[in-house]
Amino acid sequence: MFDTLSDRLTAALQTLTRKGKLSDADIDATAREIRIALLEADVALGVVKTFIAKIKERAKGAEVSQALNPAQQVIKIVNEELVGILGGETRRLNLAKTPPTVIMLAGLQGAGKTTLAGKLALWLKKQGHTPMLVACDLQRPNAVTQLQVVGERAGVVTFAPEPGNGVGDPVDVARRAIAEAKHAQHDVVVVDTAGRLGVDEELMKQAADIRDAVEPDEVLFVVDAMIGQDAVTTAQAFQDGVGFSGVVLTKLDGDARGGAALSVREVTGQPILFASNGEKLEDFDTFHPDRMASRILGMGDVLTLIEQAEQAFDQKQAEKAAEKLSSGQLTLEDFLEQMLAVRKMGPIGNLLGMLPGAGQMKDQLAQVDDKHLDKLQAIIRGMTPAEREDPKMINGSRRLRIANGSGVTVREVNDLVNRFFEARKMMAQMAGRFGF
C-alpha cells in the first residue's frame, strides 16, 4: 500500500532539496507533481484540490525559518497537511460511562466486518475488557458461524440467535443481545450487521433499525481500502443512510493505491479509528494519522530531523523546559522531546553541562541508543495527552492499555514511568542545588 504514492511524493520533494531558494514557480511545479501523485493514488478530486491549494498557500507564505532550508520547509508543510487530511489527532474509541459500550459495525459485504469484530474483540480483551460479539448478519449464509469462529479464536462470547428464536429478525437479536450483555456483565458489545455487495435501501433501513434498537456509542463504518474511489461514494451513502461516528480501514496490507485512506476522512468528516492490515486477528491497530503520513511520505528520518532542528532552534522552548525542570513540573512530553533532541542536537546535554556535577547524568542521557529511544517514543506516543501531562494518573489499567497500544510489555511501561519520576526529582533537586 502507498508504495507508488510514496515514491512519487518523495521524488517530487527531492527535486527541491537541490535548490537553495525556492521561487513561486518551483513551488507550483512541485505542487503539480504532488497533485498527479495523489490523483494516481485514487484520492478523491475534491480532496486533492483542497490539499494542493493549502500546500501552495503555505509554502509561498512560509516564514523564513532559521532552522530549516526551503525544501525542508515544504516537506514539513506537506507532512502537516497530510496528517490533517488523515484526521490530525489520533481518535480513541468512545467508551460509555455506564457499560456496556455498544459498538455497531456497518459496511458492504466483504469489507471485513466479521473479521474486524474478532480483531476488535481480541484488542479489547487485551485491554482488560470483557467484550461480547453479536451476530446480526442474518442474511449471508454462514455469517453467524463465521462470527462464532472468530469469536472463539479471540476467546470471547458470541451471541447468536438460536434456531427458531428470532431467526431472520436482526433487530430482535440485537435487543436481546444487549439485555444479555447487561445480565452477564460484558462491558463492550460489538454488533456485526449484514452487508450487501452494493448499497441498497433495504440494507440501510435494516442497519438504521438495529442502530435505533441498540443506541450505539460508536457506529463504525468498515471500508475496504482496496476499492479505491468507490470507498468515497459508499461512505457517503452509509453516512446518509445510517450515520457513523468513525471509520475502520481494512486490507491496508493490499497493494492498492491507497486513495481511500486519504479521502474518507476528508469527505465524511468522520475520523479513522482503526486500521486492519491482514487476515490474522492480530493484524489490527489504532490508526495514527501522524504515523500514516510519515509512512506515505516515506521520510520518517527526514521528518524527525526537521522536528529536531526546529526544537534545537527554539530558544523559548528550551527556556520553558529549563523552567519546568527546575520547578519539578517536567511532563513526559517534555521528557520525550528532550531525549529526542539529545540524540541529534544535545540541548539537554548543554543545559546540564552548564551545571557542575552534572556530567554523570549527561553521559547517561548520551548513552540512550536509537532502538531504545524508539521504544520509549512509542510508549509515550501511546499515552493520551492528559497522561503525558500528568503521569501520576497512569494506573494499572492505563499501563496495560499503553503497553498493548505501543507493542511493549507492561513492565517496560512501568520502567519508563518510574525512571521518569526519578529523573524529574533528581533534575529538580540539582536545579535547586545549583540555583538554575
Select 226 or 302, whichever has its Cβ closest to ligand GDP: 226
95-98: long-range contacts, CB 8 A cutoff, minimum separation 24: 95/188, 95/217, 96/217
Among the listed ranges 107-115, 235-243, 321-329, 349-357, the one in contact with ligand GDP (CB under 6 A) is: 107-115
The phi and psi torsions of 159 (rounded to 5 degrees) equal -95, 120
**Binding test (CB under 6 A) with ligand GDP, winner from 12, 71, 111, 383:** 111
Q: Which residue has the cell 449471508?
A: 140
**Binding test (CB under 6 A) with ligand GDP, winner from 30, 79, 101, 114:** 114
Select 42 or 334, whichever has its Cβ closest to ligand GDP: 42
Q: Which three cell numbers stand for residue 263?
A: 479521502
The strand ranges marked E within 25-111 are 101-106
**Binding test (CB under 6 A) with ligand GDP, winner from 79, 90, 115, 245:** 115
Q: Look at the alpha carbons of 373, 379, 384, 390 in this order and tell me if their dihedral is positive or negative.
A: negative
Could you tell me how far CA 421 lies from the centroid of its own chain? 27
**Binding test (CB under 6 A) with ligand GDP, winner from 35, 113, 288, 401:** 113
**Binding test (CB under 6 A) with ligand GDP, winner from 7, 152, 255, 279:** 279
Q: Is 306 in the site for ligand GDP (CB under 6 A)?
A: no
Q: Is 388 in the site for ligand GDP (CB under 6 A)?
A: no
The full DSSP string for 209-251 is HHHHHH--SEEEEEEEGGGTTHHHHHHHHHHHHT--SEEEEE-
Select 195 or 391, whichever has its Cβ closest to ligand GDP: 195
**Binding test (CB under 6 A) with ligand GDP, winner from 166, 243, 278, 346:** 278
Closest approach of Cβ 253 to ligand GDP, in Å?
A: 5
Select 84 or 254, whichever has its Cβ closest to ligand GDP: 254
Q: Are 158 and 147 in contact (CB under 8 A)?
A: yes
Q: Are 252 and 277 in contact (CB under 8 A)?
A: yes
Q: What is the DSSP letter of 384?
A: -
Q: Give the span between the Cα atoms of 247 and 192, in whole angstroms.
A: 15
Per-residue x/- track, 45-84, ligand GDP (CB under 6 A): ----------------------------------------
**Binding test (CB under 6 A) with ligand GDP, winner from 110, 241, 243, 346:** 110
Longest Cα–Cα distance in the chain: 81
Q: Is 219 in the site for ligand GDP (CB under 6 A)?
A: no
For 158, counting Cβ atoms within 10 Å of its Cβ (0-12 exposed, 13-18 middle, 19+ buried), the class is: buried
The full DSSP string for 99-164 is SPEEEEEE--TTSSHHHHHHHHHHHHHHTT--EEEEEE--SSTTHHHHHHHHHHHHT-EEE-PPTT
Near ligand GDP in 175-214, by CB under 6 A = 195
Distances (CA, A) of 166 to 138, 161, 170, 279, 398: 10, 6, 8, 31, 39
Applying CB under 6 A, the site for ligand GDP has a residue count of 18
Q: Is 109 in the site for ligand GDP (CB under 6 A)?
A: yes
**Positions at the binding site:** 107-114, 192-196, 250-253
Q: Give the span between the Cα atoms of 83 and 169, in whole angstroms.
A: 42
Q: Is 112 in the site for ligand GDP (CB under 6 A)?
A: yes
**Binding test (CB under 6 A) with ligand GDP, winner from 76, 129, 186, 251:** 251
**Positions at the binding site for GTP:** 107-114, 192-196, 250-253
**Binding test (CB under 6 A) with ligand GDP, winner from 127, 234, 250, 338:** 250
Select 90 or 250, whichever has its Cβ closest to ligand GDP: 250
Near ligand GDP in 396-435, by CB under 6 A = none
Residues binding ligand GDP (CB under 6 A): 107, 109-115, 195, 250-251, 253-254, 276-279, 283
